[in-house]
Amino acid sequence: MRAAWVLRGLAVLVIAALAAWIVHNTRWVEVEVDDPPSGAAATDPYYALRQVLAASGSTLELRTSLEPLPPVGATLVLNSSSWTVFPERDARLKAWVEAGGDLVVDGWRTRGGDTLKWIPLSFARPPQANRPASATEDDLPPTPRRRQRARAAGVPGPDCHLLEERGGASAPAFEPDRHYRGCLAEGVIRPVRVEPDWVLSGPRGTVALRVPVGRGSVTATAAANAGDDNRGLLQADNALLMSAILRAGPGRAVWYVNDESREPLLLWLWHQARTPLLLCVAATLLALWRLMVRFGPRQALPPRARRSMGEQVNGTGQFIAGADPQALHAATRQAFDDVARLRIEDYAQLDDAERLVALADALAPTTTLAPDALMAALRPGPKSTPAQWLAAIAVVEQARRALLRGPNRAAPTADSAGAALP
């Protein structure tokens, strides 16, 4: 019985010691856990900004291109890193601001670079940004991605400070002498040879600064991609501060231009060159159709029949006339000489004058062809054109046929058989 009580006492002591150790080594603290976004806020990083602008009577448009520019009198927030792919855009943007547009850029985008040099602002890192190499990422401006990583790691967000509107030529955004508690990044933004219209500053530097450019204005902020963090916009007075930076008001259009994009090539061709594209597609389909395997010839085959001797001779003559008319003329003249030896006595021994008389006598009964024209056709010039050669061939052939129709006045001899006309 006594042993049982001893065991119970030891168990109580062990449990009490364990509870005392847990109490001594455990610290109970409250941790704020953000509720996950739901609905439109889960997919739209500008949902909170859209609601804030709608409450002030403004509209928010998300654009992927600076073509076209917003209407004069609107606010353009330029967050695109590739908008300078076309150099002439910088001049167009400057002209738009000078005509009355309000441009909002973050200071990190205007510091250095080859563009936006016409903006009378200079930006530098705040003094605490010149940190040693061992410094952490927390010293950089609190971009949405850094804030998200900090929340995931359990690191508290950027400190919130009291901000105030000071200096400037324009009226304050809200009531005068009002202080705001803002959780936005601060930097060193200075005007260059111009008096600023509006300045929002804190203990660590400038949050936003607006300067006039022509009839418009340029507002530089120390925060990068301000307005695209739903949770950050709901902290402290960030919503009021963003309304002041964007100059929200009734009828004001606010354009956000982020990373630019273009429609796919095929869609662009369809929208810009629909007719040529359809013609190319039709030509391609026709070419493929012509290359398809067929079960027969493309056209009906001509009937197999033997050509007559006349067709063969005519075809050969047409081919020679097109390729070498001089050769056809030489063959026609040879045929004429053979007939002339049969119809004119001693034709080979006659000179030109005697041949003219003999040819006139032989051709008179059957044709009106002049002997002079015949002699010119027998001896065309070396520089004659193909048409002149063919005309001479026609004259010689006409004379040959006329001689064949006349009487045979000469008997062939062995001496005259092989003679040729000089």
317 shares a domain with 174: no
8-state DSSP, 138: G
- Give 363: exposed, middle or buried? Use CB within 10 Å, 0-12, 13-18, 19+: buried
pLDDT at 352: 73
Ranking 1-10, 124-133, 312-321 by mean pLDDT, the lowest is 124-133
Gap between the Cα atoms of 107 and 202, Å rounded: 16
Q: Does the global pTM surpass 0.85?
A: no
233 shares a domain with 112: yes
Model confidence over 22-38: pLDDT tens digits? 888 888 788 877 778 88
* DSSP-derived pairing of the beta strands 75-78 and 253-257: parallel
Instruction: Output the six-digit token pair for 236.
Output: 């402290």
251 shares a domain with 160: yes
16 part of a folded domain: no
User: How far is it between the farthest Cα atoms of the chain?
Assistant: 175
328 shares a domain with 251: no
59 shares a domain with 162: yes
* Number of separate domains in the chain: 2
Residues in the chain: 422
pLDDT at 420: 40
C-beta of residue 370 within 8 angstroms of C-beta of residue 331: no
248 shares a domain with 321: no
Q: For tokens 């925060």, name the residue.
A: 223
Domain ranges, residue 382:
309-417
316 shares a domain with 212: no
Task: Give the mean model confidence (pLDDT) for residues 60-69.
Answer: 83
Percent of the chain predicted with pLDDT > 70 = 81
pLDDT at 415: 44
Task: Give the mean model confidence (pLDDT) for residues 41-56.
Answer: 86
* Whether pLDDT at 279 is above 90: yes
265 part of a folded domain: no
Reported as a pLDDT band with limits 50, 70 and 90, residue 207 is: confident
159 shares a domain with 89: yes
322 shares a domain with 252: no
* Whether pLDDT at 221 is above 70: yes
403 shares a domain with 327: yes
Gap between the Cα atoms of 229 and 232, Å rounded: 5
Task: Give the mean model confidence (pLDDT) for residues 241-250.
Answer: 87
Q: Is 237 left (phi over 0), alpha (psi -120 to 50) or beta?
A: alpha
